[in-house]
């Protein structure tokens, strides 16, 4: 994997950690997640007229991705309500690339080098190390987190393949971003009512725009990287977002970090170095 791809994926990981921090700091995680999805769609709109339309073969992947993204956001909100984020987030983001690495051989016929596989496993191990610091958690939260790991791995495949056959990964990302917020906001209105959703949008619209721009930028960089490098390797490197999330929590949110966090940071950084050298 080239240094350019690595640096851009790492920048995308930083963006991913930033929009997750916005959801964490919000008062209503479900509605904030819907707002961020909508913000991503709005951010993408001005660029659509200047981009080629994705190849028609990729349209079923865009539709499938929208459904998977809807499920993903619902499981994120449910898992955060059921358990401690220190347990839920590492399980979701750590298990997903493990699933991709374990199955990419027969799904995509991709073969990872020994160094790339070791780097991938090291990053996943560092992320999962964070689960040991969780103070609270429940079996329900763990089940939701593991279910979402499967969803993340699935949409990684769907979008990785869709971006490759679309003819333009950027165009694929921009069009893919349009459908999830329609599903998420329609669901929110059906459950909460139009007035409650409108009031939340009125107060928190800025959170959606900033987080949405970060979300679409982060995922767009990852999909572009998947056209240049093995999907499993990119998926693992992207999950270094948890390392940036730790830095944000300590520096900006003034949260105390346990020794497990620092150990995980060292392991994740080591895994990233292995991917560079592979």
45, 49, 51, 52: CA torsion to nearest 10: 120
Non-local CB neighbours of 70 within 8 Å, separated by 6+ positions: 180, 183, 184, 187
Q: Could you please report the per-residue DSSP string of 191-242?
A: HH-HHHHHHHHHHHHHHHHHHHHHHHHHHHHHHHHHTTS-HHHHHHHHTTHH
The pLDDT score that the predictor gives to residue 190 is: 95
The structure tokens 């390797």 sit at 233
With contact defined as beta carbons under 8 Å apart, do 185 and 34 qualify?
A: yes
| Alpha-carbon span 89 to 264, nearest angstrom | 13
Q: Would you say the pTM of this structure is higher than 0.85?
A: no
13-27, 36-50, 207-221, 250-264: least confident range: 250-264
121-136: pLDDT as tens digits:
887 787 777 666 655 5
- Of 270, 199, 182, nearest to 278 (Cα)? 270
Report the candidate in 19, 80, 15, 12 with the shortest Cα–Cα distance to residue 207: 19
């Amino acid at each position: 994997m080239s240094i350019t791809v690595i640096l851009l994926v790492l920048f995308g990981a930083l963006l991913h950690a930033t929009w997750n921090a916005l959801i964490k700091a919000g008062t209503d995680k479900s509605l904030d997640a819907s707002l961020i999805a909508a913000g991503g769609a709005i951010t993408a709109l001005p660029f659509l007229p200047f981009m080629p339309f994705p190849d028609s073969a990729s349209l079923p992947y865009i539709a499938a991705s929208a459904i998977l993204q809807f499920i993903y956001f619902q499981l994120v909100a449910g898992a955060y309500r059921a358990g401690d984020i220190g347990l839920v987030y590492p399980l979701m983001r750590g298990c997903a690339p493990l699933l991709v690495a374990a199955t990419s051989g027969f799904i995509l016929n991709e073969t990872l080098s020994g160094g790339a596989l070791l780097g991938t496993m090291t990053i996943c191990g560092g992320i999962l190390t964070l689960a040991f610091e969780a103070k609270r958690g429940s079996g329900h939260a763990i089940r939701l987190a593991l279910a979402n790991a499967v969803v993340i791995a699935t949409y990684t495949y769907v979008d990785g393949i869709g971006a490759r056959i679309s003819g333009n990964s950027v165009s694929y990302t921009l069009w893919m971003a349009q459908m999830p917020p329609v599903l998420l906001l329609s669901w929110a209105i059906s459950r909460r009512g139009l007035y409650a959703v409108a009031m939340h949008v009125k107060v928190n619209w800025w959170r959606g725009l900033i987080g949405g721009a970060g979300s679409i930028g982060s995922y767009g960089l990852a999909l572009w990287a998947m056209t240049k490098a093995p999907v499993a390797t990119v998926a693992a490197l992207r999950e270094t977002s948890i390392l940036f999330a730790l830095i944000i929590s300590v520096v900006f949110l003034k949260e105390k970090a346990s020794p497990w966090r620092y150990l995980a940071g060292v392991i994740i950084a080591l895994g990233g170095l292995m991917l560079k050298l592979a």
